[in-house]
Structure 1
Amino acid sequence: MTAFRGTRTGWLVMAVAVGLSLQVEAGVLSKIPFFRRWAAENRVESLIVTGNYAKSRLLAEIVQHYTRQPILLISPAASGGYDLFFLPHGSEAVAVTDVKYEEFLDFLNPSRLVLVGDSQYLPMTFLDRARGRHTMVTVNGSDWHNNANAMAGVFKNAQIAETYGDCLNQLDRATAGRPSDR
């Protein structure tokens, strides 16, 4: 009787394994709550792309604080090109090479790119290189309080604009009389 139970258990385990492999192929795991939560926690809904300047970076980091969405900063490099830095929420920045920009976007596969700043802050070449590959939302006014209001609308969180206004006023007071980095 023991041999029969062992064989029956073996067949049961094999049947479950085959069933699970078929379910994985059919995408059924996305319907299991654990996997759905895991995917939601690790999914990049919005990738915030902006230049590495005080006002644009401040806005991006405030949005990240409220939304936990990652940031891609683009900085002019001494060599004449650009340095890219990926800032995931709660982790250290990771350098991304300029030539791997499109590949990196495809790897992250965000639902949308949120581009913050005009050509003064964000080189248009990066917008052009992403066009047609991803849905893009552009916030590019010259008034940063208005940009913060726009970002609050994009992310459906009024605290973004309020916090940005407070922080920008503090930044302006602290840097009064100094050269601006935009």
Structure 2
Amino acid sequence: MSKIAAIIGRLLIGLLFIASGIGKLMDIGGTAAMMAKTGLPGNLALVVGLFELVGGLCLAAGFAVRLVSVLLAVFTAGTILFFHNRFTDPVQAIAALKNLAIIGGLALAFAHSQMWSHYYTLRTTRRSEAATLEAERRVHEAELRAARAEATADAVRTGPAATRAVDLDGDGIADTTVRRRNRWFDW
């Protein structure tokens, strides 16, 4: 369930950056003027729009989530520093808090992606360990079967252990073998 929630959250945060990037690319002149007003070079408007669009698409698609989430978090922190730095203005303060929330969502996307990468590594290691243990168990069982078969073959070759040789005429040479009876009690 947490994976589904993480995918939905990643899609929604990616959608924010996709919409913002498309908006910047649709009005490059306005974006350049806004950037020039804050002291940044206006010719970065196209680069910023493409960065937001591509970053949002990568985040939404789940491609290089850790790298993209870090880059977008740094970019969003930069927008707080350059564009929403007047905290006395309530509109700018709310925009800065919104961007902080976006950074928090990006940190969660990073952490969840890191967790699944670690989980995959652990799962792969555990599976290989389980396969090794299973192979060792099978070898042990095969050795036991071989030992039992060898013991059975020896018992068949030597005959039943419950027989004894009997000298009937007293000349010291066994005349016959007699099967011993199992005693149920010892007198």
- Same fold by TM (over 0.5)? no
Structure with the larger helix share: 2
If the length of structure 1 is used for normalisation, what is the TM-score?
A: 0.24
Structure with the larger strand share: 1
Query: Which of 1 and 2 has higher RCO (CA within 8 Å, sep 6+)?
Result: 1
Specify the structure having the higher radius of gyration (Cα): 2
If the length of structure 2 is used for normalisation, what is the TM-score?
A: 0.23
